[in-house]
Amino acid sequence: MTSLDRQAFEADVNSGAFLNGSFSGRWGLSSIAWPHALIWVRAGDGSQLLMRFELTNYPRNAPTAQPWDGETNAALPTALWPRGHERINAAFNPSWNASALYIPCDRIAMQGHEVWRQLHPSMLWDPAVGIHRYVRVVADLLGSPDYDLAH
């Protein structure tokens, strides 16, 4: 029997907003092994970053995600995390936490950052928007001028 959380996630990855990004090549679902899902996000240089999402109590609780190595099925070594300028280095900061991104829609990062509600309302987790919100934030970061294309 499929959980309601998984059903909600599957509905979200089959929604127009998520599929639009998939069809345009910005991101895509690789696999689901509930409560985890692997989603790749295309960077500005054309490379793909695989992210492993932890989705317990989705969508009521925001997901958390970390860069993932699909070949070893383990966390991506921190030396291979995206690098760049200020925003990229803040979001992809394994020194802060190697199992989460430091962005307003991440379940772990949002703890203790109430100010983000005023500073970054378009990046906050919204259960009504779903996984598209998180993936779009990552895609926007990796497509920004802050991303180091030479990395």
Q: Are 118 and 112 in contact (CB under 8 A)?
A: no
Q: What is the pTM of this model?
A: 0.93
Catalytic residue numbers? 105
For residue 36, the SS3 value is strand
End-to-end C-alpha distance for the chain, whole angstroms: 43
How confident is the model over 72-120, as pLDDT tens digits? 999 999 999 999 999 999 999 999 999 999 999 999 998 776 776 776 7
Tokens of 58: 């989705």
At 20-41, the pLDDT tens digits run 999 999 999 999 999 999 999 9
